Structure 1
Amino acid sequence: MIIFIHGFGSDGFGSKAKLLRQYCAQQNIAFIAPSLSTIPDLAISTLEELIQQWQRYEEVKLVGSSLGGFYAMYLADKYNLPVVLINPSMAPGFTLQKRVGQAVNFHDFSSYEWNETHVQSLEKYQCSFSGQRCLLLVQTGDDVLDYKLAVDKLPDAQHVIEQGGNHGFEGFERYLDEVFEFILSH
């Protein structure tokens, strides 16, 4: 089972989720991309329940993007799971402090509240994950997060550092084969 964890303001129907879902359907690989709560504790709780349920039947592997990458690191560390991280947030408490107030969902443009309690709750999910069993995909043109933070924090990860690009990881479809080769070999 592959679980895709979306980023802040996104959901399980974003572009990367759609690409992964389609690839998994073609390869007959179990896949889920849940639309998670904007409340970090609820999002983590949902993901932990999914992991615990699916681990009864098959291996669970994670793919996380941005804030979802942060969640994926925490869960990979806690449950010893292989993980692919795409432009992951390494310090979401800092970067998302700027977003306190009304935030917008990128899928349907609905608004929701992002508050100081949410920001503070992220701190409990910081972990010492070094990147073992991890494929890190970053683009130097990420205008939201500094890719060097992820590269420095994850020295044991397999790194793919692409020049240019953006926070959404432009051209992600070009890496699907590499992502699945990594995921299926771990």
Structure 2
Amino acid sequence: MRKPLVIFIHGFGSNGFGSKAQATRDYCHAHDIRFIAPSLSHIPALALQTLEELIEQLQLAANSYQVCLMGSSLGGFYAQTMALKYRLPLVLINPSMHAGASLKRALGTAINYFDESPYEWRESYVATLQAIEPSYPLDLDNSRCWLMVQTGDELLDYREAVAALPNAKHTIEQGGDHGFQGFGNHLSAIMAFFQAATNR
């Protein structure tokens, strides 16, 4: 029986040691599940290249594993892009469905949450995101895609994600915030979802 190999894709300004990534890492370590959370470049083209190379190498090397994706916010946008290209199972947590449009408000100097170092967020980066945005709605069914949103998300309108993924498995929690309160409580169910998708 094949096993999941989970890649967590972090959001804008974050890194592979953000709170959701670390919670998932700890859970996977405790349950002997392969896990990777790369710290990606803030430059979209470089982040996407890193993900493509990582996924392709893992798929070549790991016949007994199925690559599964988790993505939060901008990482959700990247995750759906990779899932569509490589036909991978995915879980999206408060994802940005229109990342180019939503991140126009970040133009200028942004801050990396890991060490509070500044970096420049440019119009060309927004253009890259807009160029790769798929045509919605996406035909990702509930056996391969799980959308998790909270209505209290202060940065993104959860209804955009629900409308973009009408056939996905939906978890819509009232209240909460963009960080997705209580995320750790879902990890057991998420891994069961990936296991089922892996052996379908």
TM-score bucket of the superposed structures, by smaller chain: over 0.9
Q: In the alignment, is the contact (CA less than 8 A) between 2:14 and 2:114 conserved in 1?
A: yes
CA–CA separation in structure 2 for the residues paired with 1:85 and 1:17? 13
Q: Does residue 22 in structure 1 map to residue 26 in structure 2?
A: yes
Instruction: Show CA shifts across 1:37-89 (max 9, x none).
Output: 00001000000011001112131000000000000001101100000000000
SS in 2 for 1:59: strand
**Aligned with 1:105 (options 108, 112, 135):** 112
Q: In the alignment, is the contact (CA less than 8 A) between 2:101 and 2:130 conserved in 1?
A: no
> Which residue of 2 is the match for residue 92 of structure 1?
99
Unaligned runs of 5+ in 2: none
Q: Does residue 48 in structure 1 map to residue 68 in structure 2?
A: no
TM-score, scaled relative to structure 2: 0.91
**Aligned with 1:65 (options 72, 76, 79):** 72
The structural deviation recorded for 1:136 is 0.5
Unaligned runs of 5+ in 1: none
> Which residue of 2 is the match for residue 162 of structure 1?
173
Instruction: Show CA shifts across 1:154-178 (max 9, x none).
Output: 0111000000000000110111111
Question: How many equivalent residue pairs?
Answer: 186
CA–CA separation in structure 1 for the residues paired with 2:190 and 2:10? 16
State percent identity of aligned pairs.
55
Counterparts of 1:24-39 in structure 2 under 5 Å?
24-39=28-43
List, as ranges, runs of 4+ consecutive aligned residues in structure 1 with deviation greater than 3 Å.
none
TM-score, scaled relative to structure 1: 0.98
CA–CA separation in structure 2 for the residues paired with 1:80 and 1:125? 16
SS in 1 for 2:66: coil
